[in-house]
Every structure is written in structure tokens, then in C-alpha cells.
Chains A and B, each alone.
Chain A
Amino acid sequence: MSNALLEVRNLSVDFHTARGTVHAVKNVSWSVNRGETLAILGESGSGKSVSASAVMNILDMPPAHIVGGEIFYDGQDLLKVSYETHRALNGKKIAMIFQDPLSHLNPVYTVGWQIVEMMTAHGRPADMARARALELIKRVGIADAEAALHKYPHQFSGGQRQRLMIAMALMLKPDILIADEPTTALDVTIQADVLALLKELQAETGMGLVLITHDLGVVAEIADRVVVMSKGEIVEAGTPRDIYHNAQHPYTRQLIGAAPGKGTIKLLDADAPLLLETRKLCKTYGEFTALKDVSLSLHRGQSLAVVGESGSGKSTLARSILRLEAADSGEALWKGRNLLTMNARDLLGMRREIQMVFQDPTQSLNPRMSVYQLISEGWDIHRLMPDKAKRQARVAELLEQVGLAPEYAARYPHQFSGGQRQRIAIARALALEPELIICDEAVSALDVSIQAQVIALLDDLRARLGISFLFIAHDLGVVRDFADTVVVMKAGEIVERGPTAQIFDAPRHPYTQRLLAANLDPDPDMQAQRRLAGAPA
């Protein structure tokens, strides 16, 4: 037997749900030692965090039920020890941090209290815990540690909260730190900082790190070993380099193939007529400036990407153009006419020509309407196609166009997977035969493999139907694959614009450079090179 510090052996967990028993993980085995980083890579539904939750004894049972297997820590099987023994290990020997620190920190207690509790819960005196907390808050890079102790979670930014979570996890110098998607909710530049912090702390303390992620880039950046999970099973294990260059399992190959940012860059057709133009759009919310003098133009057949981190104003831009939000000043010209001052009648016409695809199809499709009703609603609104037989034929046609079976028309959104739902949303947008589709983070909620399919679909629609796209995204890889022109936004302003090739190959603005540098490459060798190149800066 191996002598790993933490070892999961043949773990199987079932979930008892409304639709029967789901085998969440089947015969999963992995191990991690001191000083080592193991990545568990998988898409949603792969069961990648189930085994870690079992290690921490935080699976919800029911519906979860551990069918078999062992979890060895320091020679004892954690699945057999008493509740009290396991509790005493949690936090002290094995600690965990989570994806969304805002919901994982208790909103009604101060950060200091919560960090200190990590030690007092294990019987250490409070004053000692306080001193250690101060030291660690400083160590993770929070400016005024003393003040931070007395603040509440909502008073910090997302990146700071994750740093505080890390400080909390390290209070008792655990042997193992489990990090469940620790950077997924963060902007790329902050993700890079947090990953760097984790690496530094690991080097200092010598702890073992288990990192659960869906992101090949994160794996390339930080992991020593990786296990790839699909449908509850480990399909492949090895070093990141081996897996990336020499994947054996078809699923792994598909996953690597779907990683964005590898396609050929598109070129802009400069002669096409102007479709949409904004001039000095401004919008403030109280003190906060969401848009400041934003001017851009979009030509027929073009796909223009607006890139930026959270709070950059990119979504406000889309919402202002669509008049979901009233801009404070400026103009948005649609074929030469100002959208922002249009009367109700012209506005209705415009609403037929511009459609939008939202980030989360679960929320953008009314759960109480059938697919047929969803797609045909636009015709009701604009009094088009009164003939029912024609409508049914057209709905079937649209469903086929987005890669869904026509029989799906009678079903409801909850009966579909996330990727299928986004296809329905796209079919709905196509129903009115728009000239422009605005995609607001339309693929960021989807798994990588699904993401690639949806991007391919949008690309195909653009080529076949000549639809223009305003593509709002934070993921640079996706933007590189889809857009022909890129606009980079920061704090409500456009800092750089140009053809995609120019932005990616020769960025001029420091912010664009930082953004690109922070973007992780799925290829471990490339990522190692970039790390070296970026290190002096």
C-alpha cells in the first residue's frame, strides 16, 4: 500500500433523488502527500467535489449515501471513526476552502470572529487565536489587518474574501488543504494572485493541496498531478503535461480539444455598412461610474467582443443599448437613428431587429412556458405569422437549426440540460430574424465542451445568416475564437480597441497586457513559459 498522507480508496457515493438513484462517484481513488498538489478536474455533474466532501464529512446525507470505499488519513479510515474524532480532525489536520466565499462565510459575524473560531473550536485560547489571526491576515495580503478583524464579509471584495478564507483555513497549520473551485468566481487577474498566494503558502507550510477545478488552465498553472473525472468516474490520471500532450481517454481528449483560444483568428470585413454606433454613452449609479464616454461602432456581419472584468461596465453597455437601463447621456444609433430617444412604436420595431441571449438560460427562459410558447412568443408580440401550422413548421425548423429535435417543442425548459437550454434561447432569438444578437456572457455558465459547441453554433449562424454579434465576455479564450474585433473595458471606459489579432498578439494598453498575462494557458509547457516571462513584472 502507498503511504500517502490522505488516500481515498474505491469510494462510491450514491445520491437518492426524485428520479431514482444516481451514482455520484464510482470507485474513485486518489491520494495526496505533504507538499504536493493534486488537481481533480471535471465538468459540472462529474462528481469532482463529492469525494472531497466525503473527506470532510460534509456530504448531505440524505440524499447522499456512501456505498463503499475507504478514506485513509494518517493510517485511520475516516469513514469508520466516530463523529467526534472526525470533527476534531476537520480544520485542524484537513482544512477546506470553497468556490464562493461570500456565501461560505457567515454574513452576521465579523471576519475576525470566524477566523478566531477556527482555533477556539479546537480548544485553543482566544488571545493566542487572535494573535495568529492577525499574523495570517497580514500574510495573505490584507492591508489593515487589525481593522479587517472587525469587519463583516460583505465589506470585502471577492478576492479579499477568498484570501480571508485561506487565512482561516491555515490557522491550525493543517496537513492538507482542500480547495473547491477556489478561483472560479474571481476575475482572471485576481485568480492569478490567489493561485500564486496558494503556491507560496504551500511552499512555506509544506501542506498538501487538493484542488478541485473545471479549468485546464488552473491545472496547468498549479498541479503536480491530476485526476480527470467524468460521470462519477476517474477516467485518467497523471501529470498535467502527460495528460495534455498524451491523453488516452476520449473524454480527456475532447476536453482538451474544447479548450478555447486555439482556433484561427478571424479577420474583419471592413467594407460592410455601419449597423450600430454608440457615442459617448455615460451611466452612473450614485458614486459608481458604470459607463464613461463609451463610443463604439459595429458593422453588418461583424462580431464585436466587449471584454472586461466584473464592474467594468460591459453588461451595462448592453443593457443601455437595449434600453433595459436608461443611459445618463450619449447616443446609440441603430442604422443611423438614436435608440435612446425612440418613441414606443419605433422601439417596438427595433426590438424585432436586435435580440439578446442572456448568461444563464435557466433564468432567461420562463419555466412555465413550453419550448413552442417560448419560441413563438415573439411572433405574438409583433403580430407575425398568424397561421398556426406555419408557426409549428417554423419552430421545428428553428429547433433543427440550433441542433435540437423538433419534437422538443412540447417540452418545458427544466427537462433540458444547460447547453440545450441555451440552444433554445438562441432559437428564440432567431425566431424574429434579427440583424444583431447581443450575447451577454452567453457561454460563461456552460461547461467547456458545451461552450465550444455553442460557440460553433453561433459562428455557423453568423456565416449562414449574416447576423452581427455584440459579444460580451470575460473569457479571453472564447473571445479570441469568436470575435473579429475586440474592445477592452475597465472601470466604465474603453481602454483599447482593435482587430482580434492585434489585441491578442500586440496589446498596447498595460491593462490589456495584464489581462492577457493573467489568462491561464491549458498547455502546461506554454503556461510555464508565460510564468517565466511574466515573473519579473
Chain B
Amino acid sequence: MLRIDRASYDAIVAHARRDHPDEACGVVAGPEGSDRPERFIPMLNAARSPTFYEFDSADLLKLYREMDDRDEVPVVVYHSHTATEAYPSRTDISYASEPFAHYVLVSTREHGDQTGLVGDDVELRSFRIVDGVVTEEDVDVVESYLFGHSPTTVVYD
């Protein structure tokens, strides 16, 4: 299951909408071993294409160096599909190379820009892609990671 905070979720969706009709892409980094996406990092789609995305090679190096320095990993790797469902394409599967990442897909086919209508829900789904095998997982959106912690015990004398 992907557990993600509301702010990161909304930021991914907003990026996908903003870049429509091109595909949007980026990562949400988090502390190594935490499985907690915390730091939203939108990336440029160097392909600037409605059917393909690719991180620019220099940006990719800078991103991984920065994550390394901060002991972070790409907990979420996201991108949008602009005309098809939010499910990994064959190209997505062939490129997928972060076995511990949650691959998040957003489809903007029905809602390129915000319609403003009630029920303008976004198609956002999450997958693991390991050795060419795609496994969909539930997405749990939390308002804040803080609420997931056990409350601190307060002892009054």
C-alpha cells in the first residue's frame, strides 16, 4: 500500500494538470527505509511529449546526488498519461528500475484542466513494478503523517 500525505498527493495531481497535454513526471523522496514520501520534486519532462517522459540526464544526476546526501530514496516515482488510463504502459514497465519505489500514475484524459465541477475526481493509481511484473496497490491519503504516530504519553504528577 502507498501511504501518502494530502499535500504530496495534491501536488502530483496539480503538476499533471498543469503540464497537460504533455506528460508530467517527478518523484517524492523520503528517508531511506521509511517508505514515507515527504519531499515533492517535480521534474522537467525532457521529452516534452504527450506519449513519453524522461528525466533530463543532468537533472537526474543532480537529483540522485541530492537524495544521496540527504539519505533519501525515491519513494514515489510519478508520471501522467494524457490520453489513456492510469496503468503502466509496456514502455513504463521496460524502463522501471526502482524495485522499492511506488510507481504512481495519473491520467489527465478526462480532466486536463480542473473542471471545477463537483466529483471532478482524479484517476491516480499506484503500482509496484519489479522484474517486469506490475502489482497494483491501494492508495491511502492521510492529512498528515503525524496522526499515524502513537501519541506521546503525558504523565501528570
Question: Do A and B originate from a single complex?
Answer: no
Q: Which residues of A contact B (CB under 8 A)?
A: none
